[in-house]
Each structure stands twice: as structure tokens, then as C-alpha cells.
Homo-oligomer: A and B are copies of this chain.
């Protein structure tokens, strides 16, 4: 499904590198590979001796670093982030990494995910005199570290601070003597460790390693704190690993097809979901088409298993950008097809299986079904390569309320009716878990299914149920 058309977005991607003379340039390319995880802001912080350099801005990576700015980022270690911002977190001050300046040594932090007890921790910190300049959860961690007793070592202070956080998070922390990397106790968001020559790198997705030519070493483990400095890499823990619960939507929608999560390739996992779906439902149809880009893999799988030919029934424009030009009334009535066009001759007079990865509000599905029917499809059978979304996500996916989800209080047939499809099929939860095929032996093979089942792997704080309650004026 098209991110641009529906607003199912994840919050951010992170990158870090220690010990490479081209730290900033490599971070630039690393963030470029993670661009699909956040397009609203980007930043890189480098460390040159004790001095921290920072450049960040709103927009794409190559907009923020459009000139020679990167050359000002001297130093051989760096962290960076690409950012998707929720309504509450707009503004240049929220672009990460944040830098905390101190006469005794500075600190830079970037993170990915969502901390469910952030409001409680903020209130606690404010009562002790902390003041906040951003709405971001990242700032909470910095205050917690700073507030820890001065008699602890820095590593212990970071561990203590991390142990107070609940939710989904991947942190990269650059201090004046090291790079620290942490993953939440459930491992809800992907985070991988790699090597580039003698340098260590970390990234939200392995596709960043491929672009920079780094080798994947392993995933950062749930509850693990990795400390990298000039003496090497040390693994520590700030929490016992809880049951692993990797976000299913990473496999279904977020991650790039060429990334692997815990050794499982995304394209392959999606294709298996498409195949499984073809085994769970039988449809008489002439062509299979996927909604580009994220549903192509599942559509190929569905076609291969069902034997129904796979076609490009929908084309995504390569040149989409912001436009302020108003379409005419006539165009508006027909639905402007700037981003997605049906291929008339492919679907005209045909029974079409339209494969999509998920349905959120249903409005986009309805528009695509309509596009296909206008182009002459005699039947449109919608098959979804994941189960119905029925519960909000508190771990960084921007689905905030039940009421936004078309599937919350509707039967499959009611949804089918609303989107105008001739049939509608969702992949079963078991089918999805088996098709993805994580080797983990824990519940759901270590996948978080909360948005499909309402069973959350972590405690959910009442105040944070609705993210808009977190708004800080």
C-alpha cells in the first residue's frame, strides 16, 4: 500500500559508526538507505576529539545535506537519524540526534521507536527540576542519564536510565569516549550490528550495510547494551531479555525488500505470505496485480502459488513530488492519479486479484478498487497479506486510535462492502507467522502481533493510550 496515500508510518531509522575517518560520509549513505523509514527530517552528529559537530534539518537526507555541509562534520565517529514526525513532534528542535552540551563532556542521542511511559518519566523529571526543549522521548533518556547518581560510572548510569524505559526503542548514544547502542527488552524494532573494515556500524536495517559495503555481524539483542570504544566492543545488559517480539509490520510493510531482519529476508518473507494466502483462499481470476511498492512481493507469491498470471495492473509514478497546482473539478471527480495509474489494457474485461499488504482506514483500498473498475476490471478481489488491523500500536507505528482502523468493529464482509470489492480475504495470523518463519521458539515465533490481536508485549500505561494526551504545550 502506498505510504503517501494513507499515513501508515513508522517513526524513524538510526545509524551509528565508530572508528572510521569518513564517519560523516558513511553516515550520509547509511541514512540514505534508511530514508524510507522517515522523510521529514535528518541529522548527523560527529565527534572530533571532545568536540561534537551537528547538522540537521527538515526534509530528505539529500535535501538536508545538499551542498558541502557534510565536510563540516569532522571526526571519526558519528550517529544519525532519519525522522518521521507525528503531529505533535514537528519543528526543527525535534529533529535528532539531540546534543546535550556539558562542561564535563557532551552527549548525543538518537532513537527509534516509542516509549510508553515517557509522560510519567517527564513528569517525574520535571518535579526534580529538569526542563525540556523538545517533545521527543529521546530527551527523557538524556535527563535520566544525567540525573543518575554521580558516583556511578557512565555505563552504569546509562544502564540505570535505560532500565526505567518501557516500550519499543533502539538507541544510539555518542559520548566523548564511546558509542553505545541499546535495544528494548522485547526487541520490538530491528537493529543490526556490522563491520566496515575495522570500524563498527549499527543501523536499523541491513540495507544500510549493503549500500556502504559493510558486513552484517548480528542483531542487537533484546535488553542488550553494546559499548564500542577504542578498546573494542563490549556487550552488556540493562535488562533481562523478555520474550522477543519483533514488530510484524516490519516484515509486512516497513522494511525494504532487500533488508533482512534476524536473518530473514523481507522480500522472501512477503512472497511466502502471498503464497500462503493463495493456499488459504481460492479465487477464480484472470490476473494478479500488486499495489506498488510494498505489495509486489506478496503478489508475485500469490501468482506463483495460484497459477494466475502476475501483471503490472497498477503503475506508480516515478516523479511524484509536492504539487500546489490544483487539479480541475473534472479531474477531482475522477480521482487524480498522480501517484498510481491502472494499466487499462491489463485489467479491462478481466477478473483481477489485487494484492495489498494491509488495510488501515480503507479509504485508499476503496480508491484503488475504484480505479481498477473504472479501467474496466469486471471483478476485483482484494487479498491482504496480513490479518485485519484491530488495535492501535504503542511502539512507534503511527496508528493511534481504534477509530481510525476500518477493521476494529467491522466484519470482513462489511469492509468488503465499504471498499467496493467483489471479495476480500485477509491472511490468517497463524499463516503470517508461519510464512515469515522466524526460528524463535517463543510465543508467535518472537513476533509482536499486538495490532492484529490487541495483546501487547509490554505494560501499556493508561495515560499514554492515546498519544494525543501526550501533547505538551
Contacts and interface: CB of A to CB of B under 8 A. Distances in A.
Given A22-B328, A93-B99, 6 more contacts: A129-B129, A130-B130, A133-B133, A213-B331, A258-B342, A267-B346
Given A36-B318, A102-B126, A106-B472, A29 B327 contact: yes
Given A93-B93, A131-B100, A293 B318 contact: yes
Contacts of A26: 328, 331
Contact of A126 (B50, B60, B103): B103
Contacts of A128: 129
A146 interface: yes
A417 to B, nearest CB: 26
Contact of A35 (B300, B319, B344): B319
Contact of A322 (B62, B256, B330, B472): B62
Contact of A256 (B50, B100, B315): B315
A63 B323 CA distance: 9
23 contacts: A29-B325, A29-B336, A35-B318, A36-B319, A54-B93, A65-B325, A66-B324, A93-B93, A100-B133, A102-B131, A102-B132, A103-B126, A107-B131, A129-B143, A130-B131, A131-B142, A210-B344, A211-B341, A213-B331, A213-B333, A265-B346, A267-B346, A268-B346
Contact of A345 (B260, B337, B343): B260
Contacts of A267: 311-312, 315, 343, 345-346
A304 interface: yes
A103 B105 CA distance: 28
Contacts of A29: 325, 327, 331, 336, 338
Contacts of A240: none
A469 B323 CA distance: 38
Given A197-B330, A267-B346, A297-B312, A324 B143 contact: no
Interface in A293-328: 293, 296-297, 300, 304, 309-312, 315, 317-319, 321-328
Copies in the complex: 4
A119 interface: yes
A376 to B, nearest CB: 12
Nearest to A207: B341
A62 B323 contact: yes
A91 interface: yes
B343 A265 contact: yes
A418 interface: no
A265 B345 contact: yes
A343 B256 CA distance: 10
A334 interface: yes
Contacts of A333: 213
